[in-house]
């Protein structure tokens, strides 16, 4: 992955992710492992987010190495996540749980545990889940589930 250049920095300076973005990605690794497998499509989604968040080559390499081992809720760095970051993590987590075409029982259970861990109310979680489940299904229908 080529490092991205931040338009707000002098030419040629590589931009690094914010700590909150790293914490969101670390949290998503835990979600990816919720069903006991880290699948290719889950890896591809994390790659896309690394690109979106402007990860440097070293940051991307570090996260990919981190993702090689099964992770859980205790690996999520809550102190790095604001309320908005926790909502963002939950939104991405719901989408990620559908990446292989269906949401397993273990993934659904993990999302509920994540909701509690992130201190998101059941009502707010239901709203997030409804919106991002619909969006994930729409994208799966549009782009297929190969």
- Residue 129, pLDDT > 90, answer yes
Nearest to 31 by CA among 82, 61, 75, 80: 75
Q: Is the pLDDT reported for residue 13 higher than 60?
A: no
Inform me whether the pLDDT recorded for 12 exceeds 70.
Answer: no
Query: pLDDT at position 139, please?
Result: 82
- The answer to which of 1-5, 58-62, 136-140 has the lowest mean pLDDT is 1-5
pLDDT confidence of residue 100: 83
pLDDT digits (tens, 9 = 90+) for 69-98: 999 999 998 888 999 999 999 999 999 999
> CA-CA distance, 81 to 5, in Å (whole number)?
25
pLDDT per residue as tens digits for the range 47-77: 999 999 999 999 999 999 999 999 999 999 8
Q: What CATH number has the domain spanning 19-143?
A: 1.10.3680
Q: What is the pLDDT of residue 1?
A: 38
């Amino acid at each position: 992955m080529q490092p991205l250049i931040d338009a707000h920095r002098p030419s040629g300076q590589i931009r690094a992710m914010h700590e909150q973005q790293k914490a969101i990605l670390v949290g998503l690794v835990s979600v990816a492992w919720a069903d006991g497998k880290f699948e290719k499509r889950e890896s591809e989604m994390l790659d896309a987010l690394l690109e979106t968040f402007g990860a440097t080559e070293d940051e991307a390499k570090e996260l990919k190495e981190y993702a090689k081992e099964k992770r859980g809720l205790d690996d999520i760095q809550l102190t790095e996540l604001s309320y908005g970051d926790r909502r963002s993590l939950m939104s991405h987590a719901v989408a990620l749980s559908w990446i292989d075409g269906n949401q397993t029982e273990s993934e659904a259970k993990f999302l509920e545990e994540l909701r509690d861990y992130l201190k998101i109310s059941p009502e707010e979680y239901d709203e997030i889940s409804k919106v991002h489940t619909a969006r994930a299904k729409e994208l799966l229908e549009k782009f297929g589930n190969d």
